[in-house]
Amino acid sequence: MNSGGKIFSRFQAAREVADVNLIPVMNLFVTLIPFLLLAAAFYHVSVIPTSLPSQTDGVSDTASDDVSVTVNLLVEKEKIRLTASSATLDEETLSELTLEIFKKKDGFDYDLLTSALVEIKRRYSKSDTVIVLPADDIPYKDIVQILDTSRERRTKVKNKEKSEPLFPVVVLSKKV
Amino acid sequence: MKSISKRGKKKKMALQLTSLLDMFTIILVFLMVSFQAEDMDFVMHPGIALPVSTVKNPFKTGVNMAITSGKVLIEGKQVYQLSKGGKVKESDFEAGKIDSVVQAVEAAWKLHKREKDEEDIVVIQADQTLPYKTLHLLMRSAAHAGVFRFRLVVEKE
């Protein structure tokens, strides 16, 4: 055998020694993968908590010195009407908060709705309830979009998404 | 595995598992990311296209109500037939409730309370095209059964 052959055989021997037995690792993986496959969630679901208006006996737990408003969103096919109600504010102050958003070709201007809600939240920070009153023919998908808009404001700061709570307490009702 | 080399000596042949191991590692990482530790007592109904939402609330179990474009199911059992476009009968709308839904929610809630000690919540999975008139009537029917709180199931954005 020449010198080149010797070097090759030495190298070959070193390689054989360096081989790691991967069978136990493979066994572990084969066990873990079916378990994780069973527990994996490929469909990510979440929930929006909501309620129907109900009448309860007893005194309200809201302190009288906390000025808060309840936002009412009357959702119709062609417009969204935003009004506010409060036990402590007068009619004139509440009427200043009224807003009507008309549907355009590409749908409602949700940014305008968000900015109006942000302004109400800024003025009356204790407020957290929105009563949504959709019309009969409004599809569920549109209601969810309105709930998303009224629940929080999402902004991007330095490529990081930030959410600011607006009106997280949702009551679904109906105009009578 | 053993084979006889040209020189007649027995030589051990190693199986090349590196690439397979690489693949397994990627699959394992992916599955660990999508691993759901919570036990959700929730079965997604195949005939429903959920609306997409930005909400990130954790899932909470309750009485399952599924509303497709043609039927209403409570805990997987059909209790009401909807007409075309997910509409309810006008007589039920005037009554303000659907009796079969009231009874089914009442029975399911009692069972949930006894077996799992759960809160009075109805988990609604409804098709994104469902008109509000139907959704509201079904919610009112659940309220007649004594459940006023709801969780609307949505697909995470």
> Given A40, A46, A154, which is nearest B57 (Cβ)?
A46
CATH number, domain with residue B120: 3.30.420
Beta-carbon separation of B53 and A144 below 8 A: yes
- Is B9 within a domain? yes
Across residues A82-97, what is the average pLDDT?
88
- Kindly state whether residues B75 and B151 are assigned to the same domain: yes
- Is B41 within a domain? no
Alpha-helical segments (H) within A96-139: 110-123
> For the segment A136-166, what is each residue's pLDDT rounded down to a tens digit?
999 999 999 999 999 988 887 878 888 888 9
Instruction: Please indicate whether residue B80 or residue A107 has the higher confidence score (pLDDT).
Output: B80
> For the segment B45-60, what is each residue's pLDDT rounded down to a tens digit?
888 899 999 888 877 7
Region(s) of chain A under CATH 3.30.420? 70-172
- Is B45 within a domain? no
Identify all chain A residues contacting B143, using CB atoms and an 8 Å cutoff.
52, 54
> For the segment B105-148, what is each residue's pLDDT rounded down to a tens digit?
999 988 887 776 667 889 999 999 999 999 999 999 999 998 88
**Going by CATH, does the domain composed of A70-172 fall within 3.30.420?**
yes
> For the segment B148-157, what is each residue's pLDDT rounded down to a tens digit?
899 999 988 8
Across residues B15-31, what is the average pLDDT?
85
Q: Look at the block and give the residue holding tokens 């809160």.
A: B119
- Kindly state whether residues B99 and B141 are assigned to the same domain: yes
- Binned at pLDDT 50, 70 and 90, residue A171 comes out as very high
Beta-carbon separation of B154 and A39 below 8 A: no
- Binned at pLDDT 50, 70 and 90, residue B2 comes out as very low
Rounded to a whole number of angstroms, the distance from the CA of A99 to the nearest CA of chain B is: 23
Q: Is B83 helix (H, G, I), strand (E, B) or coil?
A: strand
The structural domain count of chain B equals 2
Secondary structure element (H or E) that encloses residue B126, with its range: strand B121-126
- Kindly state whether residues B28 and B61 are assigned to the same domain: no
- Is B42 within a domain? no
Average pLDDT of chain B, as a whole number: 83
**What's the rounded Cα separation, in Å, for the pair B36 and A28?**
20
ipTM associated with this complex: 0.77
Domain around B147:
52-156
Instruction: Please indicate whether residue B101 or residue A54 has the higher confidence score (pLDDT).
Output: B101
CB A41 within 8 A of CB A99: no
- Is B105 within a domain? yes
| Percent residues over pLDDT 70 in chain B | 83
Q: Is A95 helix (H, G, I), strand (E, B) or coil?
A: helix
